[in-house]
Amino acid sequence: MTLDQVQVGSDFTISAIRARGEIRKRLVDMGFVHGANGKVLRKALLGDPIELRLGTYLISVRAAEAQNIEVGA
């Protein structure tokens, strides 16, 4: 399952990052690493962007970026 498929209010644990290049570097710098825990707080009307809590941070990501983040519920 990818991060964009997680329902609002659900917790997740990151299992892999499939993104490459600069996007991958930015995601990792923001804390998207294997084993990190988070919760999807809300999604915009069309599902983009997605607001989530990752550790103690509140982060918004685009749905296209979230599709590159593998998670487990």
Mean pLDDT in consecutive groups of 10 residues from the start of the chain, 73 residues: 94 94 92 94 91 94 93 81
59 in the Ramachandran plot: left (φ > 0), alpha (ψ -120 to 50) or beta? beta
pTM of the model: 0.86
CATH architecture of the domain with range 3-72: Roll (2.30)
Domain spans in the chain, listed from the N-terminal domain onward: 3-72
pLDDT at position 46: 86
Distance CA(31)–CA(53), nearest Å, equals 11
